[in-house]
Amino acid sequence: MLDHDAMMKAVREAQEKRRQKDFPHLKEGYTFKPDGRSGIVYYKEDAQILEIEWEMSGVRQFDILVFLEGIQNWTRSEGEPIPLEKKEQILTGLKEFLLAKKIRPDF
C-alpha cells in the first residue's frame, strides 16, 4: 500500500533540491524551464520568486497549459500572498514572454 506521507515528503525533498539548484541562477523576469512534458516558468522580482507550473497541451491551438492556481503566493518569500494587481501584471508579462518565445499558452 502507498504511504501518502512518505510520498509527499519525497515530493517536497525533490522540490527543494530543484530549487537549490535553479534559484541561484535565475535572472530577473521570466525563465522557462522544461522537464519532459511539463515544467516551470520562474518569475523573479528582487528577492521574490514564483514558480508557475505548466504541462504540454493535447489541443492543437496551444503548446502548453499553464496552471494559474499557483499564482497565489510567492514561492520565495515563502507563502507571502501576491496582491491582485501584481498577479495581473505577472500574468500579462507571462503571456507576452511566452508568445515572444513562440510558445502558445492556454491559461
Please state the pTM of the whole predicted model: 0.87
| Structure confidence at residue 62 as a pLDDT band (50, 70, 90) | very high
C-alpha span between 61 and 1 (Å, rounded) = 40
Q: Which has more confidence, 1 or 71? A: 71
C-alpha span between 92 and 102 (Å, rounded) = 15
C-alpha span between 20 and 38 (Å, rounded) = 19
Instruction: Average the pLDDT over 94-99 and give the result.
Output: 98
Contact 33, 47 (CB under 8 A): no
pLDDT surpassing 80 at residue 2? no
pLDDT number for residue 63? 97
Instruction: Average the pLDDT over 57-71 and give the result.
Output: 94
Distance of CA 19 to the CA centre of its chain: 11
